[in-house]
Structure 1
Amino acid sequence: MWCYTFIISLLLINYVNCIDYGSYKHKSEYVTVREGAHMFYWLFYTTAPVEHYTERPLIVWLQGGPGGSSTATGNFNILGPLDLSLQERNYTWVKNFNVLFVDNPVGTGFSYVEDLSLLTVTNEEIAQDFVTLLRGFYSSNPEFEDIPLYIYGQSYGGKMAIDMGIQVHEAEVQGFLKSNLSGIAMGNAWISPVDSTLKWGSLLLAAGLVDQEGYEHIQTEAREAERLFNEGQYVNSTLQWAATQRAVFNRTTSVDFYDILTKMPVSAPDTRSAIEQARDMMIYDSPYVSNTERNEEWNLGNLMNTLVKELLEIPENVTWGSQSDAVFDALRGDFMKPVVKGIEKLLNETNIILTKYNGNLDLICSTPGQILWVDRLQWDGAEEYRNAPRLPIWEDNRLEGYYKSYGNFRFFWINYAGHSVPRDNPAGTNAFLRDMTSFG
């Protein structure tokens, strides 16, 4: 379906809300990636001052979770044209790029499976579906085949992006897919989960958010998650990771895992199990999932299942987010597995740019946890990267962070940002966007 200017109104409690995309041209479509498995994308064409939108790159945005919706959270919460107040976002990426939001894996957001047995259970299966999704996308939109393609994944989306990158590149080489994959970005990404978990305690201790006793308690729980993983008990390691989160909540009186300078708003005892609490935090991009929002903002689920569903003509039998919990649960055995070897493969065998960016206020995918696996990378430029200078990032006379690079790998430390850097620090975000794409 093609969408140009759409205004859809809904009368709610004596006032009218509507979605008005004005000059933002967009398109949405389903791609059947396997029999009974249907993946959904929502494309926004750039409004950059160019003669044709194909003069700008195509960026795929992947949300985390697994089970987090790109078309909802990535779009309305982070970088799409409109925010949750349905007002225009002045730093939307659509001003510089064509942006493709994908509800991935199948079962996420508006993507759905006809039977839950069709959900993916490994990162490799997720990547296979993504290649099929891209084939469907390029079949409908062949004008994008030759322009640079960049995959940006946040949190678990960054983990998924690595195997996607490998399989997209292989499909390009084999002639199975005509695309131009040029870069992959991992934003506060779940690359090496054990490393991330082991650094929670030390970051909290350094920030003064726990005392020595609290630190030792958290580390004991984290080391147990590591032990279970090393023994190959991957599902139990995931459950223990959730228990470690619960220990952090208890010892910090509910620090926000996505920004250590804030606390979770807690209005009632949390009756969810540790794994349910952790799952909800990963899927919904917040450690605290509330049924009420500020008066001027939409509840994301209500918005997607009313105005957006009508706008995009989603099938009546599809409910946004209804299978998201099942998506997370299906991947429990894969959740704690790292993708570091995949990064090494991409660095050693391709010219694809790999960018690691991290908001320094994040806890769940904290910068110290990222540095652990980065320093262990085995690739041709590893020694040169270690010896490369760490340079400041200045934007409008403000120090937004630092970066370090060699060859096709770079690391960006971003100040004034937590888990979601594009939302928290748009100015700092411009630095790594320009580095990879020349725009931003």
Structure 2
Amino acid sequence: MGIIFNISANLDDPEIHRCVNTTVNAQYGDYKQDFGYVDVREGAHMFYWLYYTTADVKNHTERPLIVWLQGGPGGSSTGIGNFEILGPLDLTLQERDYTWIKNFNVLFVDNPVGTGFSYVDELRFLTKSNDEIALDFVELMRGFYRNNPIFENVPLYIYGQSYGGKMAIDMGIRMREAEEAGTIKSNLRGIAMGNAWISPVDATLTWAPLLLAAGLIDKTGYDNIQKSAFEAERLFNAGLYRESSFQWGRTQQQVFSATTYVDFYNILTRIPLDWLQDTPRNLDEFLTKLTIRDHPIQLPEGQEEIDLDEFMNTVIKDALNIPANVTWGSQSNAVFDTLRGDFMKPVTDGIEKLLNETDIILTKYNGNLDLICDTPGQILWVDRLKWAGAEGYKNAPRQPIWENNQLEGYYKSYGNFRFFWINKAGHSVPRDNPAGSNAFLRDMTSFG
């Protein structure tokens, strides 16, 4: 069983001071919050940060609990997901008008262990597979519910972006198993996969066709990208999964060469110049950094943003009384590298299991300007799913999403599966198109 350390813990316990050195009044900002560590395994300490909803309700439990999972693997939810995408404050530390805490209780989890403020005592304790990540997550949630029992019956929704969407599938399987076994008191209702890394080979093989159709590459660029992508597929089919992940990176380099560094997270932009100037000499290091850190949008002239790494390791670290030996993000590269053998593996079997054996709502939403987890690649695996409602979904009508008289995208649904195509959005849909995001939030939760 995991051990939890948080703001309401017994401060006389020396074990608590070893792990978190917390104080009763510790927090950042004026929003009601809770945070802490859970020892999910020997040598593995996972951190969470909860913001209670600011909705006009008598009890916070009147609104659902949403877990937000960042991608990478190795991207921090408490930092990137919180300040760059949907938390109460943005990177200029101004209030975000579309923050999800207006309608929901939002739990940011630094997952897998080694990500953000989560850490391992030795790198051998890092996770090597999606299922290991899921088992750690169940233990984290056990600890969270022990400290916050008021949320046990509250509808729980897991929203994962990019690799977070991949992780969410096995988490859903393991959470439902634990619920049925009575080893956790939770109420999992839905899982959302946002621009998710569900079937990596499908995504990689559709980069070149998408770029060619968008006019961003010529035939020579198309041929070079496809040749590299087919090699990644060949290595994967041969069971050389780690080698396939490195070849995937080389395919990215072919894209950069053919497009003069198109932004993998939004094909209408390019990689920011400051990122290129700070590019490590080692290509794999740069691609790891790019995959872990979905860089923020460019702010209007005159606005300055915080340096997130410095901010998390000074202001936030002090405010949340993070242990002195923990550096936010210091183990992220090791997290990514340790999971290379699992990186290119799909989780479509898990999606089929959830669709066929549970009533959990599965939502797939995608920003149509994304490249790394592009919409064409998502459609391929969705159309191949084997589940009881496959034919019904195939024949279901595709409906428009209208918000404030603006066409924000389209959606299609049948049974407990939905697909949302979101316009004017790249990889981080909640940030790029908040109005369109409201559609899939309302569909799943009735709020938003």
What TM-score bracket applies, with the shorter chain setting the length? over 0.9
Q: Which residue of 2 aligns with 1:86?
A: 93
How far residue 268 of structure 1 moved from its aligned partner, in angstroms, is 3.4
1:301 & 1:222 partners in 2: Cα distance?
A: 33
Partner of 1:8: none
- Describe the SS at the equivalent of 2:341: coil
- Choose which of 58, 61, 74 in structure 2 pairs with 1:54: 61
1:296, CA displacement in angstroms? 1.9
What is aligned with 2:289? 280
C-alpha contact 1:60 1:151 (8 A) present in aligned 2: yes
Contact 2:92-2:303 at 8 Å conserved across structures: no
2:304 matched to which residue of 1?
296
- Once residues 399 and 275 of structure 1 are traced to their aligned partners in structure 2, the CA distance between those partners, rounded to angstroms, is 39
* TM-score calculated relative to the size of structure 1: 0.93
Q: CA deviation at 1:20?
A: 6.4
Query: Counterparts of 2:404 and 2:272 in 1: how far apart (Å)?
Result: 34
Residue pair 1:264, 1:287 contacting (<8 A) in 2 also = no
**CA–CA distance in 2 between the matches of 1:436 and 1:402?**
15
Alpha-carbon distance in 1 for matches of 2:169, 2:29: 32
Which amino acid letter does the alignment assign opposite residue 124 of structure 1? D
**Cα distance in structure 2, aligned partners of 1:384 and 1:227:** 33
- Aligned AA (1:268): Q
**8 Å Cα contact 2:86-2:98 kept in structure 1:** yes
Matched, 1:413 2:413: no
AA partner of residue 286 (structure 2): Q
Q: Which residue of 2 aligns with 1:99?
A: 106
Q: Give yes or no for contact 2:64–2:156 (8 Å, CA) kept in 1.
A: yes
How far off its partner does 1:249 sit?
Answer: 0.4
Q: Secondary structure at the match of 1:109?
A: coil
How far apart are the structure 2 equivalents of 1:272 and 1:394?
Answer: 46
**Alignment map for 1:377-388 (pairs within 5 Å):** 377-388=385-396
The alignment yields a C-alpha RMSD, in angstroms, of 1.7
> What are the within-5 Å matches in structure 2 for residues 62-211 of structure 1?
62-211=69-218
**Partner SS state of residue 405, structure 1:** strand
CA distance in 2, matches of 1:345, 1:35: 30
1:312 equivalent in alignment to 2:320: yes
Contact 1:152 1:186 in 2 (8 A): yes
Alpha-carbon contact 1:71-1:109 (below 8 Å) kept: yes
**1:38 aligned counterpart, secondary structure:** strand
TM-score (norm 2): 0.92
CA distance in 2, matches of 1:320, 1:337: 28
1:327-338 alignment, distance < 5 Å: 327-338=335-346
Residue 77 and residue 294 in structure 1: after superposition, are their counterparts in 2 closer, same or farther (change >3 A)? Answer: farther
Paired with 1:275 and 1:264, the residues of 2 have a C-alpha distance of 16
Most deviating of 279-288 and 113-122: 279-288
Instruction: Say whether the 8 Å CA contact 2:7–2:36 is kept in structure 1.
Output: no
The answer (yes or no) to whether the contact 2:28–2:320 under 8 Å persists in 1 is: no
Contact 1:217-1:247 at 8 Å conserved across structures = yes
Secondary structure of the 2:186 match is: coil
* Distance of 1:331 and 1:339 partners within structure 2: 14
Task: State the distance in 1 between where 2:75 and 2:28 align.
Answer: 24
Q: What is the CA-CA distance between 1:45 and the residue it aligns to? A: 0.1
SS in 2 for 1:41: strand
Q: Give the whole-Å Cα distance in 2 for the aligned partners of 1:224 and 1:287.
A: 31
- Separation in structure 1 between the aligned mates of residue 303 and residue 428 of structure 2, nearest angstrom: 23
Task: State the AA in 1 paired with 2:147.
Answer: S
More displaced 10-residue stretch of structure 1: 206-215 or 268-277: 268-277
Amino acid at match of 2:102: K
- Show CA shifts across 1:379-406 (max 9, x none): 0000000000000000000000000000
Q: Structure 1 residues 281, 120: CA separation in 2 closer, same or farther (over 3 Å shift)?
A: same
Give the equivalent residue in structure 1 for 2:432: 424
Deviations 1:313-337 (A, max 9, x none): 1011111001000000000000000
Q: Does 1:250 align with 2:254?
A: no
Q: CA deviation at 1:265?
A: 2.4
Q: What amino acid sits opposite 1:255 in the alignment?
A: V
Question: Deviations along 1:127-177, whole A, 9 cap, x unmatched?
Answer: 000000000000000000001000000000000000000000000000011
Aligned twin of 2:247 = 240
Contact 1:67 1:325 in 2 (8 A): yes
How far apart, in 1, do the equivalents of 2:289 and 2:237 lie? 26
Shift of residue 286, structure 1, vs aligned partner:
3.0
Q: Structure 1 counterpart of 2:284, which letter?
A: I
Match of 2:14 in 1: none
- The answer as to whether partners of 2:35 and 2:47 remain within 8 angstroms in 1 is yes
The partner residue of 1:259 within 266, 284, 307 is 266
Q: CA deviation at 1:294?
A: 8.1
**Structure 1 residues 260-290: Cα deviation after superposition (integer angstroms, max 9, x where no partner):** 00011235384433322221111111399xx
Q: Secondary structure at the match of 1:177?
A: coil
On the 8 A contact 1:153/1:189 being kept in 2, the answer is yes
* In 2: Cα distance, 1:269 partner to 1:44 partner: 34
- 2:47 is the alignment partner of 1:40: yes
**Identity level (%):** 71
SS in 2 for 1:248: helix
Distance in 2 between residues matched to 1:271 and 1:107, nearest whole Å:
22
Contact 1:28 1:42 in 2 (8 A): yes
Alpha-carbon separation, structure 1, partners of 2:125 and 2:318: 27
Report if the CA contact (8 A) 1:109-1:320 is conserved: yes
What residue identity is the alignment partner of 2:325? N
The answer to whether the 8 Å contact 1:2/1:26 transfers is no
Q: What 5-or-longer segments of structure 1 have no aligned partner?
A: 4-18
Instruction: Specify every segment of 5 or more residues in structure 2 that has no aligned partner in the other structure, as ranges.
Output: 1-5, 9-26
- In structure 2, the residue matched to 1:27 is 34
| Count of residue pairs brought into register by the alignment | 421
Distance 2:278 2:37 in 1: 40
| Per-residue deviation, 1:2 | 4.3
SS at match of 2:251: helix
3-state DSSP of counterpart to 1:170: helix
Once the two structures are superposed, residues 64-109 of structure 1 have per-residue CA deviations (whole angstroms, 9 ceiling, x without a partner) of 0000000000000000001111111110000000000000000000
